[in-house]
Amino acid sequence: GTKKKAACPGLGLIYTILSAFLFSVASLFLKKLEDVHSVEVSAFRCVFQMAFILPGLIYYKTGFLGPKDKRIFLFLRGFLGSTAMVLLYYAYQVMPLADATVITFTCPVFTSLLAWIFLKEKYSLWDLLFTLFAVTGVILIARPPFLFGSHVTGIEGSYSDHVQGTIAAIASTISAASTIVILRKVGKSVHFFLSIWYYAVIGLIGCVIALFVLNEWRLPHCGRDRVFLVLIGLLGLGGQIFLTKALQIEKAGPVAIMRTMDVVFAFILQILFLDHLPTWWTVGGALCVVASSSGTALRKWRQSVKKAKEREI
CA 61 to chain centre: 28
Average pLDDT for 226-239: 86
At residue 127, the 3 state secondary structure works out as helix
pLDDT in tens, 154-200: 676 677 888 888 999 999 999 988 888 887 777 767 777 788 888 88
CA 296 to chain centre: 16
User: Over the chain, what is the mean pLDDT?
Assistant: 82
CA 197 to CA 193: how far, in whole Å? 6
Q: Is the pLDDT of residue 242 over 50?
A: yes
CA 53 to CA 74: how far, in whole Å? 15
Q: Is the pLDDT of residue 7 over 60?
A: no
Domain spans in the chain, listed from the N-terminal domain onward:
21-151+159-312
Whole-prediction pTM: 0.82
pLDDT in tens, 265-306: 999 999 998 888 888 888 998 899 888 888 887 877 777 777
CA 306 to CA 313: how far, in whole Å? 11
Q: Mean pLDDT lowest for which of 31-40, 71-80, 201-210, 281-290?
A: 31-40
Longest dimension (CA), the chain: 64
pLDDT in tens, 15-37: 889 988 999 999 999 888 877 88
Please give the single-letter amino acid code of residue 20: A
Give the whole-number percent of the chain exceeding pLDDT 90. 10
Which of these, 7, 17, 26, lies nearest to 269 by C-alpha position?
Answer: 26
Per DSSP (E only), the strands in the chain are: none
At residue 275, the 3 state secondary structure works out as coil
Contact 82, 202 (CB under 8 A): yes
Q: C-alpha angle with apex 17: 295 to 32, nearest 5 degrees? A: 105
Contact 163, 142 (CB under 8 A): yes
> With bands split at pLDDT 50, 70 and 90, how would you rate the model's confidence at 3?
very low
pLDDT at residue 262, as a whole number = 87
